[in-house]
Structure 1
Amino acid sequence: MIDKIKELIAEAEAFKAQSKEEVEAFRIKYLGKKGLLNDYFAEFKNVANEQKKEFGQTINQLKKTAEDKVNALKEELESKEEVKGIYGDLSRPGEPIELGARHPISIVKNQIIDIFSRIGFNVSEGPEIEDDWHNFTALNLPEYHPARDMQDTFFIQTDPDILLRTHTSSVQVRYMENNKPPIRTISPGRVFRNEAISARSHCFFHQVEGLYIDKDVSFADLKQTLQYFTTELFGKSKIRLRPSYFPFTEPSAEVDVYWGLETETDYKMTKGTGWLEIMGCGMVDPNVLENCGIDSKEYSGFAFGMGIDRIALLLHQISDIRLLSENDVRFLEQFKSAL
């Protein structure tokens, strides 16, 4: 009888199956309630005492061999099914690729660039770490000029002449130094000011500044350019220009667009007036032209500058400017459908 059990062990070890049904039949044959193992365990009492030890060890070996075979075959078949499920059906739709989203700052910046490119403005860029000449002095802000206090500046501690640019007007200075009129360019970029961080302001933000230099450029040209821009970007043509002061333009003005008071965010952004200040502008001061090597008697021009962040808050009804720099994926995913 022991020899018969050993034959069954060899048979179990050699068994192969192509389906789960065959494995189940094998399990029932050996391990089922009416299987071979139960028959041999029942026969144990009839075995002679001197053979019981060997008989019991052989039965246990058969049981272990059968159980191991069942588990191995099940794992093998399940693995094949998984591979087939993934790669076997070529008609299955492809794995969806998670799409990224443009940042709202990039969306608005690209819209602004597109609008001005239609009327001949190119794009110029410059360094974020700037020197005093390009950021201040060339723009009619000599050392100790009181207007420098209008901009709280981050200076590089090791060199007081090097700083983080406070506006992208420094790019315009570099452009005028290296290009002859006519000049028609916009300068988008990040700027830095030592200001308290709140829902409405940050220590770094983004600007687009524009410059047009040519013969016989007038304030009327500036106004019509801004009228075109606000109509294209906001779909609203009602603007107002309020007299203001900037050291590098004369005369100077603040530009407001009438947005209305339709939502709670509109009330917060416009302080309940419906008017939103979007940029400063003016005619380029002759001193600035001369500092950049342009004859102010032959050429004139206008300049303007706007904050991209504030426009993004308005267009996308965002109530807190800090959301733009926190890199919260939940916030950014809202802009997947934007341009």
Structure 2
Amino acid sequence: MSEKNFIDYIRIFARSGHGGAGQTHFMRNKLTAMGGPDGGDGGRGGHIILRGNANLWTLLHLRYYKNVLAQNGENGSKSNCTGKDGDDIYIDVPLGTIARDEETGEIEAEVLEHGQEIIWMRGGRGGWGNQHFATSTNQVPEHSQPGEPGVEGYKNLELKVLADVGLVGFPNAGKSTLLSVITAAKPKIANYAFTTLVPQLGMVEYRDGKSFCIADLPGIIEGAAEGKGLGHRFLRHIERNACLLFLIPADSDDHKREFEVLLNELEEYNEEMLEKDFIIAVSKSDMLDEELKAAISKELPTDVPHYFISSVTNTGLLELKDALWNILNKPA
């Protein structure tokens, strides 16, 4: 997916429908000169509904969808006829989409399943007709209710990529190459920083027809939590990953510090990131002998499992898949 086609943030103005007014009316026909109240209720205003769609990976289709205005409910009419409800508006969004109120920052909806429907902004209730206000002491009520207004405001739709495993590492750590080898994804690969500008998803085929989803995410740089580089645009995508795979290249100047910097950026952005499961993969390990591997192993933290892999020679990839599968399917 190209950078131009990946949109993970949309700002829109949305308004649900106004409820229709109730009717004030009394029965009048050739057989009844002065009948009782028969004013119908107003119809409900149209809802704005978010609907999960697993076939969408971006908010691109909403790029020019700047004003979302639901239909108002119709007014009630005579003969106790209720006005027609306003048509609901359905907004299809990819799984992992969060809806926020721009003014308060409050999360109003979160779509995680295909076909899931969430009434994001409710239409106004239709007003009661005068039939509801008849009593033993007031048999000819002269009033009815107006419809209630809908909800309106500027809203933000924000996509956080849903994947089982997130690839974390500095630019040029080999994430895109690894993804291209273990999945059918075809990410852009080149020897310069920020080759990957948007998340790339791929399905990893495992044993016995099983599979899991892995995401190659744009590279972190020191200060990303403060917005440097791709900053928050990148970091929010790893909040949903069940497991984080830290990729550190064998030719790194300081393997331990590189892992610590990556870990610190995650913590600065959201401390809950540290509660995830971690695995370290030392990429480009085809250039290492056993002595160098032993030296690097001593640098890495003892409480995080690590594997030496090579996407060029396929070394260690099956062991890495086994480790990821076991983490993703461990008992709760």
Q: Same fold (TM over 0.5)?
A: no
* Larger Rg belongs to: 1
TM-score by length of 2: 0.28
TM-score by length of 1: 0.28
- Larger relative helix fraction: 1
